[in-house]
Structure 1
């Protein structure tokens, strides 16, 4: 197992967790579009809200993961469900009114007082993601859109039971590199 992140800060947190748990995991600082791994050297790759939403050229990430996966290898990643970009960032009824086109692919950007970007998340439709996977010669096995759990009434950020009953906040793509692929 190897853990990769672009952020030195995230890797510092990982080192702290590794030390406190006693589980040693090799940590590598790397860009997801240029993985420092050999071709066909990985059995399973995963990203839980990692690079995919934050990389302007996520198709490059798909190609790079396909390069390092062995034939038959799995690539599973989660992103913010693209549908949520159409709605305001609010967990209540105010978050149920469409304010932006689902097809508006401009990035969501937050800036500090000086106008510097402090957070940016790209937007792709479900179709865009599927086309990225197909172009990278990956096969989509499943697209999981988790439903809000029955009885769960806690609010987390812009998500809560009001919005959660109507549409998913997360999209999980389960893919593989077909056996016999180069």
Structure 2
């Protein structure tokens, strides 16, 4: 692809294979910039659910912190494994999985650059696709995903079923995604982003493609109802749906997320599920 070419943004069908290839390539190319821009906000060993800054230490969506000790926990779409490091600091035994080799290199960098206590202790890293988890049935007590994998896959039920497969019965899975209502608004943190510009019910994926028409970034839209049905179809029971409010102390903008928009409409949806 010509380095000077700006990808074209469009809405079109994107298959599971095309979506996976685009995600791997995009995150490998952009991991350095992502960690440089957002690393301070994410921290080395914090568990942040989204741009609002809601952290697991305060929210307790996986359960009381003391109950995490000794638990085998899978983080999906882990990036640089910041969340997994926090889990390790609570005494859990986390595995951080990501599709991007470069993101996992940042996980190694952070882990090597701090002592075990500061960085959250040892974390196992696995490079794999969330739609084909390389683990035996019932291998984990819990699973989590903070904006990882699920928004970028064409078949979310496949991923959810894989998560259900590797969880023991009664295991908890908590994942966050862009709040579906945001798809009706422009991805703009300012006043332009406050007016509805598209149909909430249009599930056509958002695609950025190169000059040859190959997808270099893909994000898939599901309505709230779709997400709930996906969870149930995969064998989970939905026990909570959390929509974090924008806190006064968070003054930063992150892409289309901002205090201006965050005070008015939700930016993140967190699904708390239990394996049946």
Regarding TM over 0.5, the answer is yes
1:15-94 pair list within 5 angstroms: 15-21=108-114, 22=116, 23-94=121-192
Q: Which residue number in structure 1 is paired with residue 107 of structure 2?
A: 14
Structure 1 position 114, deviation (Å)? 5.1
Structure 1 position 163, deviation (Å)? 1.2
Cα distance in 2, alignment partners of residues 151 and 136 from structure 1: 37
Q: What TM-score do the two structures reach when normalised by structure 2?
A: 0.62
Unaligned runs of 5+ in 1: none
SS at match of 2:183: helix
2:225 to 112, 122, 127: 127
Cα distance in 2, alignment partners of residues 45 and 151 from structure 1: 29
Cα distance in 2, alignment partners of residues 32 and 61 from structure 1: 6
Unaligned runs of 5+ in 2: 1-93
Number of matched pairs:
178
SS at match of 1:39: coil
Q: What TM-score do the two structures reach when normalised by structure 1?
A: 0.92
1:99-178 pair list within 5 angstroms: 99-112=197-210, 115-150=213-248, 152-178=250-276
Cα distance in 2, alignment partners of residues 153 and 19 from structure 1: 31
Cα distance in 1, alignment partners of residues 275 and 254 from structure 2: 35
Cα deviation 1:138-180 (Å, max 9, x = unaligned): 01111111111135433222122221121111111111113xx
Cα distance in 2, alignment partners of residues 152 and 48 from structure 1: 18
Structure 1 position 11, deviation (Å)? 1.2
Q: Provide runs of 4+ in structure 1 moved above 6 Å.
A: none
Q: Which residue number in structure 2 is paired with residue 2 of structure 1?
A: 95
SS at match of 1:11: helix
SS at match of 1:140: strand
Structure 1 or 2: larger helix share?
A: 2
